[in-house]
Each structure stands twice: as C-alpha cells, then as structure tokens.
Structure 1
Amino acid sequence: MALTLVERFLRGLEISADRSALRVGSEDVTYQQVHDTALIWAGALRTNGSPGAVGVLTGKSVTTYVGLLAVLYAGGTVVPLQPSFPAALTRRMMKTAGVREVIADERGLAVLPEVVRDGMTVRVLDNGGSVTGFPLIPVSAESALAEPVEVELADPAYILFTSGSTGIPKAVPIAHRGFAHYFDEMDRRLDFGPDDVLSQTFDLNFDPGIHDVFAAWGAGATLQAVPPSAYRDLPGFVAEHGITVWHSTPSGIWMAREMGALEKGALDGLRWSFFGGEALRCQDVLDWLVAAPGSKVENLYGPTEFSIGVCWHRWAGEESQRRGVNGTVPIGKVHAVNDFRLVTEDGEQSSVEGELWLTGPQISTGYLDPAENEGRFVVADGRRWYRTGDRVRAQPDGELAYLGRMDSQVKIHAWRVELAEVDHVVRACAGVLDAVTVTRSAAHGEELVVFYTGDEVPDQELADGVGAVLPDTVLPRQYVHLESLPLNPNRKVDRLALRKRAEELAG
C-alpha cells in the first residue's frame, strides 16, 4: 500500500521511536522527539485553520526537518526556501507560492528582513529563535495536535521551484499522490532498514533531498546531514557517522576524487550509492566503486514536475557501459505505474530516439502560473503528458539512455552538433578530468567554447581530439582550463555561469 509522506514517518516512528531520526552537526534527535515537536508546531500552524503554503526558510538544521514535518502534520504545503539565495529571488518565490507563514532557523531569520519587503506580510513561528519585527505564531504544548491531520492524495504536499534553463524558477506543486507512488516503487526494490544511515547532501529545496528524508524515515533509519566540509575527508566522515547509503549529484564524485577520497576501499562501509540530478559518467562510477567495492550503484532520473524521479538504472559493469551513450550511464526504465513516449522534432512518435514525454500518477498538476504550462504540459491521445525537454534513446526492452537536452543539440554552420558528444571527446583527451561545452554568440551565428578541468592541455591536442568527430568548420572556438567547474546551489554544473563566462571571454 502506497503511503503518504506523513505515513512514512509514522511507520519509521513505530519501528524506531527511541532511535535517531536525524543527525545535524552535534545534534542527534530521535523519532519520538521529532514527532512530539512537530505535533506542537503543527498545532500552532493550525490556530486559524489549514495553514496553506508555509515557507521553511532554513539552512540544514534540525528546524528544517522538524519544520517540514510540522507543515505536513498540519495539512499544509511545504515551500522550502534557501537563506543563501538572493533576497529578491526568495521574495519572488514566496509571493508566487502565496506564503504567509514562515518557519525559520537562525540563518533564515537573519535574511528575513531583507526578503520581506514591497508590502509583504508574514507571520513567523515562535520556535525559540530571535525574531524581531515580525508578528509571531505562538507555540504552546497545550495547542499540540493529538495526531496529524488527514489529507487527500490530490492535496499539494510541496511547492518546489525548478532551476530552469532561463534562470527564472517555475513553481511546481507536487501532490501527496505523486510522492506516494514514487516511494512505493522505491520500497519495492530497495532494502533500507533501521540500521542504515542515509546521507543528506542535498538541500531541501532540491527534490532529491526529499528522497533522502523520506527514504530514511520510511525505514526507521537515520538521516545524516552532510556539510560541504565533509568532502575534505569524505572517508573519515562516512566512517565516523556510519553512513551506509550515499546519495549526491555526480559532481560529488568529482569533489571526492579531487580530495583524494577514492582510494581503494576508502568507502567500504557503503551498501548503496545513488547519483542523480545530472548525467552520470561510466568512468566516475568505476572510480567510485574502487573506493566503495561493496556498494550497489543506481543512476536516478526524473524531473521535478514528475515527483522526484521516474527512472533508475542499476550499474551492471560492462553491460551498463555498452548500453550507455557518450560514456554516460543509462537512466533505466520508466517506473511501471507511469508511461512514456519518444517524440521526434517533427512531432512523430519514435521507438528509438526522441524527446521524452511522461504521463502517469506522478505527474504534477502543472505550474502555479498556468501561462507557463504551454508547451510543457500537453494533451495527446486523451492523456496529459509532461514534455521533459530531454532527448533519450530507447533499447528494445524499454531501457533509456540520456543523450542530452533538446536544446543542447545545436547547429553550427548548418551542422548539427551534440554538445554531450563534444564533452565526451574532450574528456577522452589525456590529462582531462571533465569538460562542459557551451555556445556563445558570434558574428557568424553561434560558436562552441569548451571548459575543462584536470591538466592544462595544449589547445591543438584538444582540437585534434574533437576534430576526429566534428568537421573543421564547427570545431570549438576556444578551450578554457579551469581548476574546477562552477556548481549551482543544487550542486549541478552551473551551465548558465559558464555561458556567461564564454560571452565575457569573447569581449
């Protein structure tokens, strides 16, 4: 039976009431403590009825996790907000989501005066922080809920904001139904238990972070927050905290490698390793498994608009390498309760390759701004589909391989170029660790710029490698060596920043 997010926590509470639900820094909080506090906060939030959308403006703190559970207990909708984001961006997110009440930790309270402007009014939960200048939501044990409020599966559990290729986030409400189907499928294939410790590398405004929280809590396991400083000695951190399940973007492998953390057997306590959020390279998996030889590895794929994830591929050595494209790991098969189709640029269905369209019970109701649905949520053959914008290739058995974004296939001098293919060729050059190709405007239309890490390699050597794949007329105009690739707040490679850098270099 598929469980709501609240029901997953209650299952964990039944299994592990007096065991650790959450560890953040030096703080260690049991399931019972999280439950009791969440009921008190939820009672405060429901003083005037259903709270609606509640902002959780926090760093990675105990307040974050108790707060999101309290909102769900109260029958509200969680809107995760990051104190590190620009105030104007957070303000726009709050206005879009209709946030009128906020749960904040010290980091959130520090930025709140700058965020709440332009006639906005919000109330702040009085959870013991230093709140000044805002009306408070009083908290009292006497007003605690006896039990969580029942919700309908169609009710929104979260409002998340996509990163968006334009840099302007779109608000995506995710219903309890979508999460219930996602975690039900996960429970069927994974064996998490109360003795497991799951890493939390993601912030809660990024949907993989929701996976970590409720994957752990649904099993009565412990959620271990992982600060960025942990990468300085990742093997030491993993061993000290007994982490058995790892989850990060593939960039986490790069950071571990840079810090010398992928020595043989260095991460031998891991049972599972999950990667998602961007393309996963086969070579990165091989390097990771040297350090974590006892770990199973899965590549997870799914857009925010489809409730965290919709595909998974379990690493199978040479078979995975054979099925991948451009040196990347396949994204796997679409979850059984959902359906997909591949659509060509001409709008025709294909059994081989095209844009991935998805439909099924995990699909979002659409963006909060209906105008943004155009071209993304479409009706075809009597069914509502989400167009991912991702180009994939299908194997006869239905397994999918990621080829890149539809807009990553560009035309240079009328020649169609796949940016992921250029990345793959450059990575194969001696001394190169990673590479990302972007386009920039030029007098003749568009040209390619390659940013790469590793050793600084003569441009001609790189051009010779790429020239084996592309005609001379479309060879990258410039190769730029970086010590590291920039990452966005979700720890994905920040392609917007690289495109901006490429334009600046042209000047």
Structure 2
Amino acid sequence: MTTATLTRTLPGWFQRGLTGNPTGTAVCVGANSLTYTELHERALGVAGAIRAATGGEPGRVGVLAHRTLDAYVAILAAWYAGGTAVPLNPEYPAERTHNMITGAGLSALVADEGGVAALPELADAVGDTPVVTGPGIPLTEPVAASGDDIAYVLFTSGSTGRPKGVPVRHRNVDHYLRFVHDRYGFTRDDVFSQTFDLTFDLAMFDMFTAWGCGGRLVCVPPTAFLSIGEFLSRHGITVWFSSPSVVSLVRRLRGLAPGSMPSLRLSLFCGEPLLRHDAEGWGEAADNSTVENLYGPTELTISCSVHRFDPETSPALCVNDIVSIGTMHGGMEYVLIDGDGRPDPEAGELCVRGAQMFPGYLDPSDDEGRFLDHDGHRWYRTGDLVRRLPGGELAYLGRRDSQVKIRGVRIELSEIDWGMRRCEGVQDSVTVAVDGELVSFYVGTERSTSDLVTELGTMFPRNMLPRYIRHLREYPLNANRKIDRPALAASARRLLGGDRP
C-alpha cells in the first residue's frame, strides 16, 4: 500500500497505529479484541465485499451495528473501500433509522448480527440496497482517498423532528486530530474509553485518538458504571471521554470516592454543559488526571473549544455553575451576534468558522438560517448563547431556543436550573418550557414542592417559578448517555395535562 494515497484521511490515521503497533490491541469489546493487523485484514475483506456489491462505486455505506467488533471493522472497511461511512444504530426507533437511510441515499449497507435482526422493520427504506454481512475477496490495499472526500455522514435532530445529515470531510477531522494529538501527547501506552454510540461524532474522537497513536480502545458497557473505578483499573484506562451526565450517574452509584480512579491521566467531557461540582467531584476521584471541558457541535467536527479545569481558578469563570467552554482551537475563529444578527463583542449567539467547519447539510434546504455571512466569510451559527469573559474565554449561557417567554417575560432556562441547584439537597435540575409553563425535574434528595418553591422564591420573582417541580431518581438518558430532554418535555406535557409523568 502507498500511504501517500491516504494523506490527511481517517484510514491514514489508522495506518499510523498499524505501522507503529501492528501486534498491539486496537479495540476491545467485552472479552473479545482485535489487534491492529487483525482489524486491518478484516476491514480489507469487508471492503472487498462492499466494492463487489456496489460495482466498485461504494458511495455512502451504511453501518447498521452497535459497538461490536464487526461495527469497527465495517466503519474502517467503508473507508478502505473508498466510500463514506454512515453509522446507524439498530436499537434506535425504526422510524428514525428509516429516515436516516432514506436521507443518506446509501449505496450499500453493512450489518452485524443486531443489524440483520433490525432489517425487517427497515425493509421499505433499504429496498434493493445491497446488504453486506461478511467479508468478500480482500482488497490488497485500501482505495486511495483525499482530504476533500466526505469521511462520514452523521445525523442530528432538527427542529422539525426530521434528522439532518451532516457530512464531514476527511480534512475537517484531520485538522481536529492534529490539534488534539498535539495538545494531549497520546502514545501507544494510552488506553482510551469508548462510551459514545457510533452514530455520535464524539465516538470518532475515541477511535482516532487511540488508533492515531497505536493505543487501545476499550468499549465501556452500561454495566461498567456499577463499579467504574474497578473497570478503569482492570483495563488500565488512561484517557476518559464521556458526556457530563455520566458524572451524576457515577455519583449516584457511589463511584466518585476520592482517589478511586488512579489510572486516568486525562478526563475529557463534551456534549452537554459541564457543571462545576461535577468537574470538581470527578477531579477528586481521578486525582492523577487533568479535567477538561470540550465544546462543539457535530457541524464543527467533534469539538472546537476547550477549557482546562483548575479547582483554584475555574470556579470564578463559571456562569450559573456551568464550566467555561474556554478558547477556540487553532485554525478556528468566532464572532458573537445579537438577536438582530449584528456583531456584539461581549455576548450573543456563537458563530464559528475555520478548518473544522462542515461544507453544509446533506439536504441543502437545511442550510437555511444556519449560516451567517459576515466580514466576507461564511460562519456556522451554533444556536448557543455565550458571553466573553475577562481573559478571552467563553461562558456558555444556554441554547438560543432555551430563552423562552412566559407570560411576556423572557426567561433563561439555565438560570432556573442554577436556582434549583442552590436549593438544599438538589444535585442537578433540568427545566423545560411546555405550553407556556415551566416544569423543573431534579435529582438528589426528594423534598416537598412547597419547600422548594419557597426557597426559589428567595431568588426569583413569581413569574420565574416553575409551575410544577418533580423529583426523579435518575434522568432518562439517550444512547449517548446524554440527558433525554425530549423525553422530559413529553413527561411535562403529560403532567400539565393532568397525568403523572
């Protein structure tokens, strides 16, 4: 194989690990694992099957699988075949996966055992698309690719409920990987957690931080959280990456004892706002570890800004107890705009451009309203509101659509959550606005609603108090272990309709 043909591509990053550590473990799922050489050879076999099934024109290749060894083989095989990877989860609702398959316009679909079981419900969407379930005649080497080719298409939820396809180029991810490998100094001795579903772009971080240095990737099953410290030590995990919701889960399971995660040297969080007490609690448990808060939507390739948490200085930079999202990566720029779309140097909607920005949605109609033309450049509108802090860091204030009007008064939902967390016994809170009313859900010690309302009344005027407050043993989480806000909103609607959520 001529490695120059894969310059600045994801399979090129895998080749780094293969070259540097051919007999080392590339990925571990439960008791099973594959070395770099084994993963490479199996991917060449499945790539051969993909090219045979598509007449040598792989196009977009769906991977209907869920964090199995076959799934990792299939994703690498999609690139080896010269195609674009489109991860799909067989455990997702059939309607959503149906929409993804239809929107992607697949040329082929690779399915593992779980994917094959889901095919009957997806028959209308799959149609006559060839389905690959095993290897074919292996390719002798990966097909040439360039940085301008689309590496993967992932789907994010749109305001209409229809998933929006986000195509990301190899060069977008390559720029990102160069930044994080330089920042963190990964080596073949590092062992990386893998907590995210493969349909989530943060899973690409897990795979290619590991594979780019010859390190080991270890899938973290849900049962591991029952004794996370023991799991981390047994596997020797050194680099942790998850959504912040995992911290409250581990705390509830009594897994945040000081010094209980000694193997970690890096603890990274992304995908949701990171709360100050969660950063502090995890840092005490992983006391040999550096804790960082990463921020970035899928459209800006995994993450585009970062803050290194310091227990001495970071709390002063928190707004509503949310950890700063820090400063932009090299090669990325931002501008803040007010509600009228005019630049504001202090606060507003965060708009970003640079080497990691995607080229535009799969369906061009989804581009409407999501880009800003300013200063001769095109900027992606994140929909997130931020404030510039002294020293140049950015404070996350909430989603643009989390600014709601209740009886004519503009309210920030994140501010209500901040007030709830100040109440005795409340560990965390999520407030939703439904049908002109506020409903707050909280975890922690259950208290009477009247007592909580009385305590909130010392912080907020009456029109900012939630109509209902409900205690939960735990939040509903989606496949990426992020808080399932649509599920909470549905519960709130039932509650406002007179039913218990």
**Mapping of residues 35-434 of structure 1, within 5 Å:** 35-47=40-52, 48-117=55-124, 120-127=127-134, 139-140=135-136, 143-434=137-428
- 1:10 is aligned to 2:4: no
- Equivalent in 432, 456, 481 of residue 471 of structure 2: 481
Q: Distance in 2 between matches of 1:413 and 1:156?
A: 46
Given that 2:101 and 2:126 are in contact with CA atoms closer than 8 Å, whether structure 1 keeps it comes out as no
| Residue 49 of structure 1, CA deviation | 1.7
Q: Distance in 1 between matches of 2:318 and 2:115?
A: 42
Deviations 1:218-256 (A, max 9, x none): 010000001111111111111111111111111111111
| Residue 165 of structure 1, CA deviation | 4.6
One-letter code aligned to 1:282: R
| Residue 465 of structure 1, CA deviation | 3.0
| Residue 374 of structure 1, CA deviation | 0.2
Q: Which runs of 5+ in 1 are unaligned?
A: 128-138
Q: Distance in 1 between matches of 2:159 and 2:216?
A: 35
Deviations 1:138-186 (A, max 9, x none): x43xx32222222122211000001335432101111111101111111
Deviations 1:243-291 (A, max 9, x none): 1111111111111111111112111111110111000001001111221
What secondary structure is seen at the aligned counterpart in 2 of 1:117? helix
Q: Which runs of 5+ in 2 are unaligned?
A: none
One-letter code aligned to 1:362: Q
Q: Distance in 2 between matches of 1:126 and 1:338?
A: 40
Given that 2:350 and 2:386 are in contact with CA atoms closer than 8 Å, whether structure 1 keeps it comes out as yes
| Residue 94 of structure 1, CA deviation | 0.6
Q: Distance in 2 between matches of 1:215 and 1:465?
A: 46
What secondary structure is seen at the aligned counterpart in 2 of 1:159? strand
- 1:28 is aligned to 2:27: no
- 1:490 is aligned to 2:480: yes
TM-score (norm 2): 0.95
Deviations 1:415-447 (A, max 9, x none): 221111110110111111110011111xxxx12
Q: Distance in 2 between matches of 1:439 and 1:111?
A: 35
Given that 2:269 and 2:292 are in contact with CA atoms closer than 8 Å, whether structure 1 keeps it comes out as yes
- Equivalent in 463, 466, 469 of residue 459 of structure 2: 469
One-letter code aligned to 2:22: A
Q: Distance in 2 between matches of 1:49 and 1:502?
A: 51
One-letter code aligned to 1:464: T
Q: Distance in 2 between matches of 1:397 and 1:355?
A: 19
Q: Distance in 1 between matches of 2:37 and 2:239?
A: 23
Given that 2:423 and 2:456 are in contact with CA atoms closer than 8 Å, whether structure 1 keeps it comes out as no
| Residue 192 of structure 1, CA deviation | 1.3
Given that 1:366 and 1:377 are in contact with CA atoms closer than 8 Å, whether structure 2 keeps it comes out as no
| Residue 59 of structure 1, CA deviation | 1.3
- Equivalent in 449, 456, 460 of residue 439 of structure 2: 449
Partner in structure 1 of residue 493 of structure 2: 503
RMSD: 1.5
Q: Distance in 2 between matches of 1:119 and 1:165?
A: 25
Q: Distance in 1 between matches of 2:485 and 2:48?
A: 43
Question: Larger deviation: 393-402 or 329-338?
Answer: 393-402
Given that 2:8 and 2:147 are in contact with CA atoms closer than 8 Å, whether structure 1 keeps it comes out as no
> How many matched pairs?
490
What secondary structure is seen at the aligned counterpart in 2 of 1:433? strand
- Equivalent in 425, 431, 435 of residue 429 of structure 2: 435
Q: Distance in 2 between matches of 1:163 and 1:494?
A: 12
Question: Larger deviation: 332-341 or 36-45?
Answer: 36-45
Question: Larger deviation: 389-398 or 52-61?
Answer: 389-398
| Residue 467 of structure 1, CA deviation | 2.1
Q: Distance in 1 between matches of 2:126 and 2:261?
A: 51
Q: Distance in 1 between matches of 2:84 and 2:156?
A: 17
Given that 1:172 and 1:305 are in contact with CA atoms closer than 8 Å, whether structure 2 keeps it comes out as yes
Q: Distance in 1 between matches of 2:141 and 2:62?
A: 22
TM-score (norm 1): 0.94
Question: Larger deviation: 460-469 or 477-486?
Answer: 460-469
What secondary structure is seen at the aligned counterpart in 2 of 1:349? coil
Deviations 1:384-440 (A, max 9, x none): 111000000112433111110011111222222111111011011111111001111
